Structure 1
Amino acid sequence: MSVVSHEGALGGRIAVVAGATRGAGRGIAAALGEAGATVICTGRSSARADAPTRSDYDRPETIEETAELVTSLGGKGVAIAVDHLEPLQVAALAERIRAEHGHIDVLVNDIWGAERLKGGPAEWNTPIWKLDLQKGLRILRLGIETHLVTSHYLLPLLIAKAGGLLVEVADGTADYNAQHYRISVFYDLVKHSVNRLAYSQGHELAPHGATAVAITPGWLRSEMMLENFGVTETNWREALAERGGGRHRAPPDFALSESPRYVGRAVAALAADPDRSRWNQKSVSSGELARQYGFTDIDGSRPDIWRYTAEVREGGKVADLADYR
């Protein structure tokens, strides 16, 4: 059965998006807001002077901006500054949610923060003995330990009532990652682990009537990605043209990139589906869920770069990029 997430579909639901400052996390929070949910937006980048810390990126985006976006789209956004590597801060978050709401309907583990640590293409495929060990271990902490700490303290709130949904935000499906080396030993381990976390936690959540799913976006037009190509969400297609002024030109398959709202609508569609348990322990992409549920990206298209990669880039099929948008 297909269920298209629509305005108000998640009214009354309580969601937590851990890592909601920017990128996929902000897109997911926004889409949950579109569907009417109350969205608790956590992260380290806060406009508050007394916030515990800043993210490793030290960028201008803040969780307060994300919360305001949620509210402007029809939900209720709540910003809470949390460093998910600090168990006491996550425990305090859990106690606040328990006191104010009593439970969680949707928990999204989108914490990452290691985009700069993994380096650019020139540094990819470097063997472990040539990598900076401390940077590599930091990648593991940011990409795996944060998820474990968050689940430890917040999953009791998710199983307080039947029907809860845990989403682990991945990069690549379990099937894809099992067959492909991903950038470095450290990055590869994190991206395998996030998918496996959905599988293992789904095993533990099922007896409580809850569901865990790993979802990967495609080529995400995050704030950092757009900045890298010298464009904005409004004019992102200009990155595909010949560039001047020192700006980078995007490769052709950037035409299949997606806004962060697309993976957000995938999460919202899952949360609105009364039969979502059929996805328990699965690893899926935003494009696959768009085909299942019928939602679109903000421009009305349904990009699916993972299917394009499998069928055309690696499968030898002859097709136009437009066939996958």
Structure 2
Amino acid sequence: MNHQERPLAGRVALVAGATRGAGRAIAVELGRAGATVYATGRTTRDRVSEVGRSTETIEGTAELIDAAGGEGVAVPTDHLVPEQVRALTERIDADHGRLDVLVNDIWGGDHLLTFDQKVWEADLENGLRMLRLGIESHVITTHFAVPLLIRRPGGLLIEMTDGTTEYNGPRYREHFHYDLAKYAPLRMAFTLGEELKEKGCTAVALTPGFLRSEQMLEHFGVTEENWRDGIRTEPSFVIAESPLLVGRAAAALAADPEVHRFNGTSLSSGQLARVYDFTDADGSRPDAWRYIPEYLANPEVDAADYR
């Protein structure tokens, strides 16, 4: 492959939270573009995290990175334990002396979430755990990884979340703690953009649309092959996208020499599919964050117009 096909050759990336879903797809696509990718998380072939899913592991992600043509390095890491994150970044420094891309995709709080509960009804311990998983873990990882990222101009930090600033800002996400956990990375990207720009680096927030993650497919009782059967349960599932779309979005950002034009902003996979001219696995460009508000206002809108 030439440089155009492997634009991230020689680059080093850390995808924090790369066990499954968007994080796994991003790690694989960064590897496909030529990067060495450190894939971290809590579920390994020897140990399962509180999420309780043993089928997806960081070793499995590393193998997928290798198969895509990159170099995958699986490092078991609990990103709520500062000592573990410090050791991780020290290892990357010792191995390569650089970090070009940091993706904060740590979450793992869906099992704690029950929608349509008010703050006084929600379990407090579960709510605080969600905030730790979705906010504190990102802060800890940023603290230790950014000094390596800013060593060279051009570094990119991607804060992963659920929903754009335009969508999340005026809308209540139907659960107090979840709302906070998913809005915070948007603000982190803005703030980090201000702090990183003097170093010639860039921070953005990135969100997939209605993601057909492994867990979501199981929730709807479908597979990637027959996912459209889930539309019978939830009509808005018609706009769902595979994790590949957001993986390609992150890789396109990382390979863009002019990515700084997005500094501090909120981006979505559907939006970037148009900007960088890529598609999902089926050749479509689903744009959930345009579709969902219009679908809620008028369920008769045609999803084909948003793909």
Taking structure 1 as the reference length, the TM-score comes to 0.90
- The one of 259, 264, 278 equivalent to 1:276 is 259
**Structure showing greater relative contact order (alpha-carbon pairs closer than 8 Å, 6 or more residues apart):** 1
Q: Which letter does structure 2 place at the counterpart of 1:131?
A: A
- Alpha carbons 2:204, 2:265 under 8 Å: kept: yes
Give the aligned length.
Answer: 304
Residue in 1 aligned with 2:245? Answer: 262
Counterpart Cα distance in 2 of 1:224 and 1:44: 16
CA offsets per residue over residues 223-256 of structure 1, 9 Å max, x none? 110111122222212333xxxxxxxx43222121
Q: Which letter does structure 2 place at the counterpart of 1:20?
A: A
Residue in 1 aligned with 2:38? Answer: 40
Residue in 2 aligned with 1:142? Answer: 133
Residue in 2 aligned with 1:76? Answer: 71
Q: Does 1:219 align with 2:210?
A: yes
Counterpart Cα distance in 1 of 2:21 and 2:248: 14
Q: Which letter does structure 1 place at the counterpart of 2:280?
A: D
Residue in 2 aligned with 1:94? Answer: 89
- The one of 13, 37, 48 equivalent to 1:54 is 48
Counterpart Cα distance in 2 of 1:250 and 1:258: 16
Q: Which letter does structure 2 place at the counterpart of 1:221?
A: R
**Residue identity (%):** 57
Q: Which letter does structure 1 place at the counterpart of 2:87?
A: A
Residue in 2 aligned with 1:129? Answer: 120
- Alpha carbons 2:236, 2:295 under 8 Å: kept: no
Could you tell which deviates more after superposition, 126-135 or 204-213?
A: 126-135
1:54 aligns to what SS in structure 2? coil
Q: Does 1:9 align with 2:7?
A: yes
Q: Which letter does structure 2 place at the counterpart of 1:212?
A: A
What is the CA-CA distance between 1:98 and the residue it aligns to?
A: 0.5
- Alpha carbons 1:44, 1:81 under 8 Å: kept: yes
Q: How does 1:1-325 map to 2 (within 5 A)?
A: 7-47=5-45, 49=46, 54-60=48-54, 61-119=56-114, 124-240=115-231, 249-314=232-297, 316=298, 319-325=301-307
Where structure 1 has 5 or more consecutive residues not aligned to the other structure, the ranges are: 241-248
What is the CA-CA distance between 1:176 and the residue it aligns to?
A: 1.2
Counterpart Cα distance in 1 of 2:229 and 2:292: 22
What is the CA-CA distance between 1:318 and the residue it aligns to?
A: 6.2
1:129 aligns to what SS in structure 2? coil
Taking structure 2 as the reference length, the TM-score comes to 0.95
What is the CA-CA distance between 1:308 and the residue it aligns to?
A: 1.1
CA shift in 2, pair 1:222/1:6, >3 Å? farther
Residue in 2 aligned with 1:244? Answer: none
- Alpha carbons 2:102, 2:158 under 8 Å: kept: yes
C-alpha root-mean-square deviation of aligned residues, in Å? 1.6
Q: Which letter does structure 2 place at the counterpart of 1:56?
A: E
Counterpart Cα distance in 2 of 1:251 and 1:135: 26
